[in-house]
Amino acid sequence: MPDTFGVAHFESRATQAPDMTIEYLKRASKTPETETATAQQVVNDMLAEIQRGGEDAVRAYAGKLDKWTGPIVMSEQDIDTVIRDVPASVRADIDFAARQVYDFARAQRDSIHDFSTELHPGVIAGQRVIPVNVVGCYAPAGRYAHIASAYMTVATAKAAGVGHIVACSSPYRGGGIHPYVLYAFKAAGADTIMTLGGVQAIASLAYGLFTGKPADVVVGPGNKFVAEAKRALFGKVGIDVFAGPSEVAVIADDTADPAIVASDLVGQAEHGHESPAWLFTTSRVLAEDVIRRMPALIDALPPTARDAAGSAWRDYGEVIVGSTREEIAEISDRYASEHLEVHARDLDWWLGRLTCYGSLFLGEETTVAYGDKASGPNHVLPTKGAARYSGGLSVHKFMKTLTWQRMSREASREIGLVTARISRIEGMEGHARTADDRLLKYYPGESFDLGAPVEI
């Protein structure tokens, strides 16, 4: 098949190994970085204005961008009024999914624990694992009402034991927060809920506007402007991941069902116009079959999803054929996809071999949509190659591993001698003297080798 989809290719992500025999049946014409510069400028201007104007600036942006002039912080009475009419079946599904997320996060929490250990006679050191005090959770509500994002973030923070959880979501289609999103926030355990979207929501969470509780960590997915706001505020607050458009990759061999593979690629491409969908396969026959199926599956979607998936597949979709599963694994690790499905033989081999992905879905029986909505592991995941060095949102994002130490005077003697000498080798006389003073106090009259005094 001729390349009619542009020139962006695998080498743009990583240099291809000289002995690899891969073939592109479809190449992307754009990358997730294409639209970054404009978003950065818009976000920087908005954050500067919010820093100057505070809550008044946020209200102005809410009115201008979301047509929202109502209360920002929702009262318990307002929340109860909105969620009163949420159908029982919807409540049951949200409750089930939120419990799955909470239980998985709680298991993650239980995997780390406080401890103490004697490193040297008389030297006791340890760690405490404690939650941060305030977390801001964002759930977008633009093209879709992101119900799952509401409980993914809040339930995980709740499982960590966070003291206060502030949740935000955009006004939905001219009204307040979507009732189902609001119910998800409430069911998952949010303490404060605000009707705010976009950059102004992220800034309000970070600065503690309207609540007086600046967030220690701000989490949740969003569009490129939300992602840039989190990037710009990182350092003042912790964030979950440097997020871009949602990504999916499918690894498939000749045992895979092309209809299921194509369905899963389309299912994720509907996230947005800039959402990459990639197929890595050892089977050219399967690859060509999947490519043939994609247009009809996209055309069968409702209008909003059809528009997003069509653009995403046209501009960002890629299909790569490799000769061996080792080549495919290497390609996959270089792309480091947010979501990675494996439809192939010997799933345990792939589990042991693959190293770079946000979340892994092994076998046809599971799919990204299950992870996005209800299976348990978090769906807030790294994109744009960040899975090379980072995992997704987990309970650990809300936990601080703090160290402590104490020691006997006998241990202080040995540690102090080494500290004094190393400090002087480094040229840090002040450090050395804190050890000298203790040795002089605890062992008066003794002579020690403390190293040569610092002359610089």
Contact between 177 and 137 (Cβ < 8 Å)? no
**N-to-C CA span, the chain:** 70
Q: Is 178 one of the annotated active-site residues of the chain?
A: no
Helix (H) or strand (E) holding 279: strand 277-281
Q: What is the DSSP string of 282-347?
A: S-HHHHHHHHHHHHHHHHTS-HHHHHHHHHHHHHH-EEEE-SSHHHHHHHHHHHT-SEEEEESS-H
Catalytic residue among 338, 341, 343, 379: 338
Residue recorded with tokens 């999103």: 181
Contact between 337 and 249 (Cβ < 8 Å)? yes
10 Å Cβ neighbour count for 447?
A: 6
C-alpha dihedral sign at 96, 101, 104, 109: negative
10 Å Cβ neighbour count for 195?
A: 23
Q: Is 120 one of the annotated active-site residues of the chain?
A: no
Give the integer Cα–Cα distance in Å for 340 and 332.
8
Q: Which two tokens stand for residue 23?
A: 């073939």
Contact between 419 and 431 (Cβ < 8 Å)? yes
Catalytic residue among 271, 339, 343, 379: 339
The strand pairing partners of 407, in sequence order, are: 123
Residue recorded with tokens 């006389």: 429
Contact between 274 and 365 (Cβ < 8 Å)? no
Active site amino acids: 338-339
